[in-house]
Amino acid sequence: MDHRTRGRERLAELVAAADSVLALPEAGAITTQMALRSPTIGRWSLRSQCLLSLQEHASGTTVTELGTRDAWLEHGHRIRKRASGFYVLSTQNRERGCFRVFTPDQTRAIHTDTGTPGSKGRGPGAVWLRTLRRELDWCGYALELAEGETVHLEVAAGRVVFAAERHTKRKPLEALAQVCAELTLATPARRHTDTRAAPRQRTAAAPGPQAMPQSTRTRPEGAHQ
């Protein structure tokens, strides 16, 4: 088997594993719990959050911060030999491929005054909201923020209206991520046009995860037993 074929097969396995988590009724809570740990985690796509949760539990480690090989090098760190890293998907479009990111304990400092990829910038809630907005745009929906004393989401006519008192808090983001999960699963892998998707009613998520790659079989924390 050549390298490209193996790469396509690995990508298909990772997407299937991620989609098995997206199909859960608690997908929004699982992905948001992961994303709010750090801006360096929340920047990655919805499917990537699913993969990170699965890989974390399979490896027995806790992911608190992530960076690409280049990002760590910019902050004075090199990746340790034999560090396995964690897979993420490069874009929301599953056709684009996957690569590895690394935690701080998988690096070593090469000079004294070093930072980390997430030491500056927006907070995790704002970063995750921006990521979810990008996810919805890819699905063909525009995100509109509205003020409200309670969390309310309306999906219709190519837009998602997201009402909350504070949009970057955990509970509102969990609700928005759940809607994103449903719309992501309903969106074809590749869109050839920039037209908006037709209005749709929210439906219950499909039960149970699909078969997963052997390295990511552990059920993520937050899923009902």
Using CA atoms, how far apart are residues 170 and 178, in angstroms rounded to an integer? Answer: 12
Using pLDDT thresholds of 50, 70 and 90, give the confidence band for residue 223: low
Q: Is residue 221 part of a domain?
A: no
Domain range for 81: 3-216
How much is the pLDDT for 114? 65
Sheet holding 142-147, edge to edge: 142-147, 159-164, 152-156
Task: Give tens-digit pLDDT for 174-200.
Answer: 999 999 999 999 987 644 333 333 344
Using CA atoms, how far apart are residues 51 and 146, in angstroms rounded to an integer? Answer: 31
Closest Cα to residue 36, out of 129, 175, 160?
129
CB 134 within 8 A of CB 81: no
| SS3 call for 161 | strand
How many separate domains does the chain show?
A: 1
Q: Report the range of poorest mean pLDDT among 6-20, 39-53, 143-157, 192-206.
A: 192-206
Q: Is residue 225 part of a domain?
A: no
Asked whether the predicted pLDDT for residue 46 surpasses 50, the reply is yes
Q: Could you tell me the pTM of the whole model?
A: 0.79
Q: Which two tokens stand for residue 221?
A: 């924390």
Q: Is residue 126 part of a domain?
A: yes
**In the chain, count of helices (H) and strands (E)?**
7, 7
Give me the residues paired with residue 102 across strands: 67
